[in-house]
Amino acid sequence: MTRMRTVDAAALILEKEGATQTFGLPGAAINPFYSAMKKHGGIRHVLARHVEAASHMAEGYTRTEAGNIGVCVGTSGPAGTDMITGLYSASADSIPILAITGQAPVAKLHKEDFQAVDIQAVAQPVTKWAVTVLEPAQVPGAFQKAFQVMRSGRPGPVLLDLPLDVQLAEIEFDIDTYEPLPVATPAATRAQVEHALEMLNSAERPLIVAGGGVINADASDLLVEFAETLGVPVVPTLMGWGTIPDDHPLAAGMVGLQTAHRYGNATMLASDFVLGIGNRWANRHTGGLDTYREGRTFVHVDVEPTQIGRVFAPDYGIVSDARAALEVFVEVAREWRQQGRLADRGEWSRECQDRKAELLRKTDFDVAPIKPQRVYQEMNRAFGPDTRYVSTIGLSQIQAAQMLHVYRPRHWINAGQAGPLGWTVPAAIGVATADPESTVVAVSGDYDFQFLVEELAVGAQFSIPFVHVLINNAYLGLIRQAQRGFDMDYCVQLSFDNINAPELAGYGVDHVKVVEGLGCKALRVFESEGIFDALEQAKKLVAEHRVPVVVEVVVERVTNVSMGTEIDAVNEFEALAESGADAPTAVAGRS
Ligand SMILES: Cc1ncc(C[n+]2csc(CCOP(=O)(O)OP(=O)(O)O)c2C)c(N)n1
Ligand SMILES: [Mg+2]
């Protein structure tokens, strides 16, 4: 046993648990923890410019590699409250991040001390566990439990709040014999898997819906193997996108009201059976449940027991980690194939492929001002299958999901449920911190970009390289489109005549100047022909300068994007592809 401050024990535990990348900013109440990080020497720290951003950076970092846990650190009071959006986002998307906050001394907690807020209570609904640690000797146990909680069952964030005197107190602690606590991983039994497979086998047009739980469990390879063994098409959810490569013959497209493919929805509507694994029947995926469920049998596999039946009662439910379930699904499916017990799915999967080749949206527009669809077409050309895309919300994110292609798990990193504006820049910083060698490409609308734009300086300061494609329509585009139902265009304009930049012709903010002022590189494009060259140039600038490089594409002000309230009633506002030439970067037909 060694006598040390609790914060020194905490730093040693972070190292032993493998969580050595922090994002945050100091304040008086968290300085002891910062002194422990300095003394330890092995905990890396990226200094954010806003605490909310630090929490999104931690989430981006976690989501990039299996096993990663990003840590965000802040002082007492407003730092913790600034992190709440990040904790909500991580919690909603089942992503473990550890938030560490400073706090007023224990004896001052009820005295309205400076920056003393009950962050434990505030954070509780948006974490798996939030606690103000009142006893110094409980600090090691609190950290140990935090990692167990974050990794067990449905993963999610934890907040540890450390009063100043608790941080400074000395305890006896032995890191050499410290062991991470066991992580609970419920596993499907063979009987459960056989029952589910019997149901699937007796269906005529079955689908597998693969959710983010498959990616969290690092089980994408098993999912693809399972689908291939059965010959059954796969619909990835927005959180599961990348589980199966878009150009795989069994990739059937995404389903939903917004971030969906025409062929994905048509295939769902044609199906008679759905096996959902690690998904949560999100309302933007299902739309109206009557339409989604009609004529279909459902099996739901989820790691969290209370998720089964939360949105609707499936015909059969299995509580299991996705990897644990898929191991048994693959084993039984292989046996059944050998025994000739599996139904032949050739015709059904060919039908799905035909829809994938035919039901396309047009991207090959060549007009001025630029139509945003063209931007995604050029991105498909410029960025390869190893690209990690990062996006959040807005028309730009919706069209990105409709038109880009994703080939690998953890290569579409999107705030799926919470969709907090401003998430993209800091999340991309977290992703590029975790994986500085692959191409990281952020996609934002102008408003999302402006929310936490100051974080670009963090990218410049710490040499964090990524390309940021900024689709500028000078509008809160998604909300403008939503306001059509109210017959109004109210408080959604971002346009103004910028007295310093008349060349922007009323588009308002001069993003190029802002970006350059923050120490990054920026390119601006007004014409379709220039998009591809700008993206290529951005890749070169990223390689040369190792900083964020923004490609601002000034697009038409108003583009109404395909969406609806039912999966059989998605409104198509724009021209559809009539031949392959209209959608030259669609993946159908490549397989
Ligand atoms: C914190 C927060 N406030 C409000 C919203 C609602 N919202 C969703 S998209 C959007 C506008 C996005 O505009 P922009 O980023 O320019 O994207 P566009 O739709 O124009 O492509 C708003 C206000 C939100 N998601 N998050
Ligand atoms: Mg916009």
pLDDT at 588: 76
What Rg, from alpha-carbon coordinates, does the chain have? 25
**Would you say the CB of residue 418 lies under 6 angstroms from ligand 1?**
no
Which residues span the domain enclosing 279?
Answer: 190-358
Which of 472, 476, 492 gets mutated to test ligand 1 (max ligand atoms within 8 A of its CB)?
Answer: 476
Q: Which residues contact 141 (CB under 8 A, 6 or more apart)?
A: none
By alpha-carbon position, which residue is closest to atom 20 of ligand 1?
Answer: 477
Consecutive sets of 10 residues in the chain, 591 residues long: mean pLDDT of each? 96 98 98 98 98 98 98 98 98 98 97 96 98 98 98 98 98 98 97 98 98 98 98 98 98 98 98 98 98 98 98 98 98 98 98 96 97 98 98 98 98 97 98 96 98 98 98 98 98 98 97 98 98 98 98 98 98 93 83 36
**Would you say the CB of residue 471 lies under 6 angstroms from ligand 1?**
yes
Give, for 470, the enclosing helix (H) or strand (E): strand 467-472
Both 335 and 425 in one domain: the answer is: no
Q: How many A from CA of 547 to the centre of ligand 2?
A: 24
Other CB atoms within 10 Å distance of the CB of residue 146: 28
CATH for 46: 3.40.50.970
Amino acid at 322: A
Closest ligand 1 atom, CA of 475?
20
Q: Is residue 149 part of a domain?
A: yes
- For the stretch 235-279, pLDDT in tens is 999 999 999 999 999 999 999 999 999 999 999 999 999 999 999
**Would you say the CB of residue 448 lies under 6 angstroms from ligand 1?**
yes
Both 171 and 198 in one domain: the answer is: no
- Ligand having the closest approach to the CA of 397: 1
Task: Let me know: does 559 contact 358? Beta carbons within 8 Å.
Answer: no
Both 42 and 98 in one domain: the answer is: yes
Which residue(s) pair with 130 in the sheet? 159
**Would you say the CB of residue 372 lies under 6 angstroms from ligand 1?**
no
pLDDT at 1: 83
Closest ligand 1 atom, CA of 397?
21
Give SS3 for 365: coil
Distance between CA atoms of residues 325 and 186, nearest Å: 9
Both 249 and 383 in one domain: the answer is: no
Please give the angle made by the CA atoms of 383, 384 and 390, to the nearest 5 degrees: 60
How many percent of the chain have pLDDT more than 90? 98
Largest CA distance in the chain: 75
Distance between CA atoms of residues 336 and 121, nearest Å: 52
Both 469 and 495 in one domain: the answer is: yes
**Would you say the CB of residue 60 lies under 6 angstroms from ligand 1?**
no
Which of 371, 397, 448, 492 gets mutated to test ligand 1 (max ligand atoms within 8 A of its CB)?
Answer: 448
Q: In sequence order, which ranges of 395-497 are alpha helices (DSSP H)?
A: 395-403, 424-434, 446-451, 456-461, 477-482
Distances (CA, A) of 528 to 168, 363, 370, 475, 560: 59, 11, 6, 20, 19
Q: Is residue 366 part of a domain?
A: no
Q: Is residue 332 part of a domain?
A: yes
Backbone angles phi, psi at 273, to 5 degrees: -155, 140
Distances (CA, A) of 429 to 96, 149, 152, 545: 17, 26, 26, 15
Structure-token pair, residue 216:
């969290």
What total of structural domains would you count in the chain? 3
Both 59 and 117 in one domain: the answer is: yes
Distance between CA atoms of residues 253 and 237, nearest Å: 9
Q: Is residue 488 part of a domain?
A: yes
Distances (CA, A) of 548 to 439, 457, 467, 541, 567: 11, 9, 6, 9, 37
Q: Is residue 445 part of a domain?
A: yes
Distance between CA atoms of residues 167 and 409, nearest Å: 39
Final residue before a domain boundary, out of 177, 203, 226: 177
Distance between CA atoms of residues 564 and 163, nearest Å: 49
**Would you say the CB of residue 396 lies under 6 angstroms from ligand 1?**
yes
Edge-to-edge strands, sheet with 297-302 = 234-236, 206-210, 273-277, 297-302, 316-319
Both 461 and 324 in one domain: the answer is: no
Final residue before a domain boundary, out of 131, 153, 177: 177
- For the stretch 319-353, pLDDT in tens is 999 999 999 999 999 999 999 999 999 999 999 99
Q: Give me the DSSP letters along 136-196.
A: GGGHHHHHHHHHHHHHSSS---EEEEEEHHHHH-EEEE-STT--PPPPP-----HHHHHHH
pTM over 0.75: yes
Both 338 and 230 in one domain: the answer is: yes
Both 87 and 173 in one domain: the answer is: yes
Q: Nearest-CA neighbor of 551 among 369, 367, 412, 376? A: 376
Q: Is residue 42 part of a domain?
A: yes
Closest ligand 1 atom, CA of 449?
15
**Would you say the CB of residue 424 lies under 6 angstroms from ligand 1?**
no
